[in-house]
Amino acid sequence: MRMREWLIERTLLLLALSSVGMLGLIAVFVFVEGTPIMAREGLGAFLLGRRWAPTKGSFGILPMIVGSIWVTIGALAISGPLGLACAVFLAEVAPRRVADFVRPAIQLLAGIPSVVFGFVGIVVLVPLIRDHLGGPGLSVLAAAVILGIMVLPTVISISQDAIEAVPRTYKEAALALGCTHWQAITRVILPAARPGITAAVVLGMGRAIGETMAVIMVVGNAVKVPHGLLDPARTLTSNIALEMGYASGDHQQALFATGVVLFVFIMALNSVANLRLARRGRAS
């Protein structure tokens, strides 16, 4: 019996290590392929260069970095307040039957393929922006709205878990001291759940900046620095997806280097989220 348990434990350990090992091999491969051109061109020239013309030897990815930042900030400006409001409603306001119905529906939203969101964006959102706000329609705003909707399940689910993890004695004490229900939520529960809410927003940011297909369909994919929400842009992920199929030589290495920048950025965001969640765990 003990031998059987030992074998099961070692098998599970081996499977877990194999998963981590495959992730490590992917990371090493991306870095090995991408760092040579960053060293050759110079990190500053690669990150801050405004001209992306691989066939002419220009490998500046600043337009894609700015485009990714614009789209991600716009998505968080939509999903952050809306997701937090929905989480507060489900955790503290909604009747239990309503919450039990709405939460699976939100989780179902996370299972919709990104190409479906992109198709809806092209058919519905892009014409609305073009007709009522101006511009080509394919823009930073369209991508931000689509991504804001796509990351809502992440923000809502983690924020709701953080709110529900706050000890009920906090709320009871606030109510006993004369606070209204809304005051107890805003002045006691939300501050106590702040690390988890912050982690939800950061993870949503990581999901937004790593999204590809829906962004390609609605952002316009213009290789230039956007100066407004109605301008077309290109993100880091869409740049890789659009050009990797025919790239070779230095061009291919530059796309891998773009992946290195994206990898480092997302890992930094995930590290921040994990630290916030760990702080919440210590506090509770």
Tokens representing residue 183 in the block: 């005051």
Q: What is the pLDDT of residues 24-51, one digit of tens each?
A: 888 888 888 888 888 888 888 888 888 8
DSSP structural state of residue 59:
E
| Cβ-contact 237, 210 below 8 angstroms | yes
Ranges 86-100, 116-130, 256-270, most confident: 116-130
- With beta carbons less than 8 A apart as the criterion, state whether 232 and 222 touch: yes
121 — pLDDT class (breaks 50, 70, 90): very high
In the predicted structure, residue 237 carries a pLDDT above the cut 60: yes
| 20 pLDDT above the threshold of 90 | no
Tell me the pLDDT of the chain averaged across its residues: 87
Torsion angle of the four alpha carbons 77, 78, 84, 90, in this order, in degrees rounded to the nearest 10: 180
CA dihedral 97, 100, 102, 104 (to 10 degrees): -150
For the entire predicted model, the pTM comes to: 0.84
Q: Count of CB atoms within 10 A of residue 22's CB?
A: 10
Q: What are phi and psi of 180, to 5 degrees?
A: -75, 170
pLDDT for 195? 83
68 vs 205: CA distance, rounded Å: 11
Burial per residue of 97-126, b for 16 or more beta-carbon CB atoms within 10 angstroms, e otherwise: eeeeeebeebeeeeeeebeebbebbbeebb
Tell me whether residue 205 is exposed, middle or buried, using C-beta atoms within 10 angstroms of its C-beta: 0 to 12, 13 to 18, 19 or more: buried
Domains in the chain (CATH in brackets) are: 61-283 (1.10.3720.10)
Residue 91's identity, in one-letter code, is A
